[in-house]
Structure 1
Amino acid sequence: MGINGGPGAALLVAASPVGRARLMDASAALPALAAVPPQVLCGSVPGAGVVELVDPVDPHVVLSHLRTAAATPGPLLVHFAGPLLFDSRQRLPHLGLARTTPATVRYSALPWHLLVAELRDRGRDRPTAVVVDLVADARAWPLLARQPDLLARDVELYGVVSPPPARKSVAQPLYSRALAEALRAVAERPPLDELHAYVVGQALTAGLDERALRFGGGSGRAATGAVPTGARVPSYGQVSTGADAPVVPDASCGVPEPRAAGAATPVPFSPAAPAAAIPAPVPASPTTAGQAQAMSPAPSLAPVAPPLPAGSGSRPRPVPSGATVRGAAPAALPARPPRPAVEAASPPDPHPVIWAAAHAGRHTEAAAVVAAWEQQAWRTYGAGSPEAIHWIEVRAVLARIAGDPGNACELWAAAANARLARGESGRHPEVLGAVDRAQAEWQEIRDPDRARALAATLVPLRRAAPGGRPEALAVLERQLASRSQGL
C-alpha cells in the first residue's frame, strides 16, 4: 500500500465489561497491536502517534479521544475490541465499555452513530478506517443479523462481529491477534481489503465463529461464510523491526492525602452534550479579545502550565490514575512542558481562563478551551508528546473540580501510561505524580463496578511506579479486596 500523506494516528480501544456484558477478553487484543510500528499500523510516513484506551469507563472520554484523533491531518485508524450491544429504547448499536451492562447501555456505552459522525468530515484526502473485533450480545445479534449492513453505513469498516459465545465462556480477540501478527511481519501496510481477507482466513483457522459478520471496507458491505478462495493474500515475508520493549520501571515516591468528593450522578449519554462540550479546532482569528485569550493557541508555541491559582482545591501531589493516595503534602500540578528553543509572539496563557471557568461551574466552557489547545498540541507535537500529555492532565484536574473522581482517575492513569509509553521511567516525578493522583481519585469513587474496572488499570501502574512508600500498592490491593467483598 502506498504511504498516505503525513504522519498518521491510531486510536486503539479495548473494553471488557464485568458480569453478563463480558463477552470477550478484549484487553488481550492491544499488547500485540501496540507492538506494531506506528507507521505500519497507520499506513503513513514515520512519526505516527498511537493512543491506547484499555477498559475505558466513560463514553465522554472515549469520544474526546476520538475527536482529537479525527483532527490529525494524516491517515487515521480506529480499532475497537469488545462487546456490541443495542439499547432497549431506540435499538441503536453501542460499543460496550468497562462498566456497561445490558441495563445501562444508554448511560455507559458509546453510541455507534457518534463514532461515525466524528469521522464523517475527514474527507477523502485524509484516509480513515475503522477496524472492529466485536462480539454481539444475545439481544444485539438477531437485530444485527437482520440488518448486517447497519454498522457499515458512512464509514470504511473492516473486521468482524461475532455472535455471542456459549454460556459462561468468553471469546478471544482472534481477528485482532491475526491482524497484529500480519502487520508485525511487514515493513509497509498492504491495502486494507487484501489485509482483511488474509486476516479473516487466519482468524477462522484459529477458531473464529464461521457465522461472524465480516466487513471488508466501503459503505454498507457485510459478508458471512468462508473467505473467497480467490482473495489475494499479501506477502508477509519481510519482517519489520523497531517496536520498543515496554518500560518496566522501579520507582519511589510518597503518596498524598486524598480529598473528599461526592460521586457524580449518571445521566443518559446523548449526542448533544458532548458535542457541544468540545468544539472543532479553534479559528486562527477569534472575533473577540476574550476568545483570543481563551481559544487560539499558536502553532509555534508549546502549551504552558503555570502553577495553579491559590485556593483552587486542585493541588494534590502527582497521583496516577486509579491509585489510592494517603499521607503526603500536595504539590503543584500539572508540570510545565518544555518550551521550544525559539518562540514567536507568545499567546496569552489560557490556564487562568480555564481555572476561572471551572471554579465558576462553567465546566463545558473550560472543557472547550482545553480541547482546542489539546488538539493544537496533538497536531503540532504529536499525540504522545509532553505537550499533548499536559492537556490530558489538565482535563484530569477539571474532572476533579467537577466532582467526578472516576473520570479524573481514568485521565491521570491515561497520562501515566502515555508517559511510560514514550520511555519515561517509572521513577520519573511526572509518572509518579500521575499515578499518585490517580490512586487518590480512585479511593473517592463510590460506584463499586467503576472502581473495580479502573483498578484493573491502576494496579499495574502502581506496580510499575510504587513510589517511596512501598505500602501504597498494599493499601490499594487491600482496599480493592475490601470493595470486592462488599459487592
Structure 2
Amino acid sequence: MSGTVLLLAAAPAGKGCMVDAASVLPVLAAVPPSVLSGTDTANVVELADPLEPQAVLTRLRAAAVAPGPLTLFVTGQLQLDRRQRLPHLALARTTPATVRYTGLPWQWIREEFRLRPVGATTLFLDLHADTESWEWLRANRLDSGYNNAVYGRIAPPRSGRRAVAVPTYMKAVATILRSGLRPHPVDLHQQALGRVGADGYADLLLSAGGVGAGVPGGSAPRPPYRPGGPRPQTPPEGAPPDGLKEQEADPHAVISAAVQSGRHPDADAIAARHEQTALRTHGVGSEQALHWAEVRADLAMFAGDPVRSCRTWLGVAAARLAAGQAVDAPAVEAAVDRAHHQWGRIRDPEAARETGNRLAELRARVPGRRQGALDHVRRQLRQLQTQV
C-alpha cells in the first residue's frame, strides 16, 4: 500500500517568530518515507516556511484526494485574526495585523479532509500559541475534523524573555522514527511526550484516535496538565464499524467508502437523501441543510463534474448570504472560493459563461482574501464572450 506524507513547518519571519518550526524538517526528512507513512511506499511533500496560504491550500487539496493513508506533520504557531477571532497557522509573512490575509485558517485543514475515509488521516501537531490564541483555547476546541486521528501538543505563550521556542515534541517524534521503527500512533505520541518530559506539563495535549481508529474510548492516556489551563481536547464519539446499514452507520463514512470505490452516483444519492431530510426538519438556510449541500458540491468535484460543483457552491454561498451571514464570514468566503476554483475547471464555454456571470455577481459582494479575484473573473468572462 502507498501513502502520502505532508511535512508542514511554518512561522513568521522576524520578531513575530515564536518557534523555530523549520528546524524539525531535516530530522523528519531523514526518516524513510515508508516509516513516516507506515505504508510500503509513500510520497512525501515538504513545505518549509511557506509564504502564501493559497499555496498551502493547493497542497492540502492534493493530499486530500490522494489514495491511501495520509499523515501530516505540522509544526508552527497559532494566531487569531482580529476580525473574527478564529485560529490561523501563521505563515512566513504573517503579522498580528495581517493574520486574516497571510495566515492559513485552521478550518481549511478540517474542511479539506472531511470526506476522506474514516481512519485514513493522521495528524501530528506541535503548535505554539500566542496569548490571544491560548485564551481562545480555554473555551474552544481546535477542530481538526471528526474522522481524523490527532496527536501532539499546543504549547502556551512563553513567559519572561522572548525567546524562540524549539519544537521539542515534533523533534522527539522524528527522532523515534529515525530508528526505522514506526510504533502505533498512540505509542509514538506517548513516547514523544516522555522525551519532552516535565517541560511539557503546561501544554494542551492532543491525543485522540479519531473515529474508528481502534483507540479505546477514542483517546489515549494523558499525562498531567497544569491546573487551570485548557483541558485535553477530544473529538466526539465515532461511527460504527464498516459494513453496517447506511441508516445505522455514520453517513459520512458510507459516502467516503462509496467515493473511494468509484461509486459517485451512490455517494451523491446518499447525500441528497440527507439533504432533503435536513430541509424538511430544519428548513432552508439551516446549517444542517447547507452542510449536506456542501458535501454534494465536494462529491461533484470528486466525480469530475466542475459545472455541478460550481453551481452547488454558488447556491451555498447565496443561501448563506440570504440567511444573514456576513460577506466575510469564513463559510461564505469558502463557498465562493470553491465555486471560483471549480469554475476555472469548466471547459464548456456556454456553461462557463452562465456560471461565470453568477460568480461575478457574488465576487462583487464577497471579494475574499485573494486580491484581484473579481478582476480575474471579469477578464475570463471577456475572453469567453469571444468564443462561439
Cα deviation per residue 1:250-286 (whole Å; 9 max; x = unaligned)?
Answer: xxxxxxxxxxxxxxxxx99842354334449x8xxx9
What is the CA-CA distance between 1:287 and the residue it aligns to? 9.4
Which letter does structure 2 place at the counterpart of 1:107? Y
1:185 aligns with 2:179: yes
The residue correspondences of 1:183-332 to structure 2 (distance < 5 A) are: 183-187=177-181, 189-204=182-197, 208-219=199-210, 225-226=223-224, 270-279=333-342
Cα deviation per residue 1:137-177 (whole Å; 9 max; x = unaligned)?
Answer: 01111221333x33355232111100012332111010111
Cα deviation per residue 1:6-64 (whole Å; 9 max; x = unaligned)?
Answer: 21011111112034531100010111111111111011112x11111111111111011
Q: Percent identity?
A: 40
Q: How far apart are the structure 2 equivalents of 1:195 and 1:70?
A: 23
Cα deviation per residue 1:424-465 (whole Å; 9 max; x = unaligned)?
Answer: xxxxxxxxxxxxxxxxxxxxxxxxxxxxxxxxxxxxxxxxxx
Q: Any conservation in 2 of the 1:33–1:180 contact (CA below 8 Å)?
A: yes
Instruction: Say if 1:224 and 1:170 are closer, same or farther in 2 by CA, change over 3 A.
Output: farther
**Which gives a bigger RCO, structure 1 or 2 (Cα 8 Å, sep 6+)?**
1
Instruction: Say if 1:142 and 1:35 are closer, same or farther in 2 by CA, change over 3 A.
Output: same
Which letter does structure 1 place at the counterpart of 2:334? P
Q: Secondary structure of 2:82's partner?
A: coil
The residue correspondences of 1:72-471 to structure 2 (distance < 5 A) are: 72-124=66-118, 127-147=120-140, 149-154=141-146, 155-166=148-159, 167-187=161-181, 189-204=182-197, 208-219=199-210, 225-226=223-224, 270-279=333-342, 361-362=379-380
Q: Any conservation in 2 of the 1:216–1:222 contact (CA below 8 Å)?
A: yes
Residues matched between the structures, number: 248
Instruction: Say if 1:45 and 1:287 are closer, same or farther in 2 by CA, change over 3 A.
Output: same
Gaps spanning 5+ residues in structure 2: where?
211-217, 226-327, 352-375, 384-388
Q: Secondary structure of 2:113's partner?
A: helix
Instruction: Say if 1:289 and 1:152 are closer, same or farther in 2 by CA, change over 3 A.
Output: closer
Instruction: Say if 1:223 and 1:169 are closer, same or farther in 2 by CA, change over 3 A.
Output: farther
Q: How far apart are the structure 2 equivalents of 1:223 and 1:165?
A: 26
Q: How far apart are the structure 1 equivalents of 2:222 and 2:136?
A: 15
Gaps spanning 5+ residues in structure 1: where?
1-5, 228-266, 292-357, 366-487
What is the CA-CA distance between 1:119 and the residue it aligns to? 0.6
Which letter does structure 1 place at the counterpart of 2:143? L
Q: How far apart are the structure 2 equivalents of 1:105 and 1:138?
A: 15
Which letter does structure 1 place at the counterpart of 2:208? G
Q: What stretches of structure 1 move > 6 A for 4+ residues in a row?
A: 220-224
**TM-score normalised by L of structure 2:** 0.57
State which of 13, 16, 21 in structure 2 corresponds to 1:18: 13
What is the CA RMSD across the aligned residues, in angstroms? 3.5
Q: Any conservation in 2 of the 1:157–1:216 contact (CA below 8 Å)?
A: yes
1:7 aligns with 2:27: no
Q: Any conservation in 1 of the 2:107–2:144 contact (CA below 8 Å)?
A: no
Instruction: Say if 1:122 and 1:279 are closer, same or farther in 2 by CA, change over 3 A.
Output: farther
Q: Any conservation in 1 of the 2:207–2:222 contact (CA below 8 Å)?
A: no
Q: Any conservation in 2 of the 1:21–1:137 contact (CA below 8 Å)?
A: no
Q: Secondary structure of 1:74's partner?
A: coil
Q: Any conservation in 1 of the 2:12–2:94 contact (CA below 8 Å)?
A: yes
More helix by share: 2
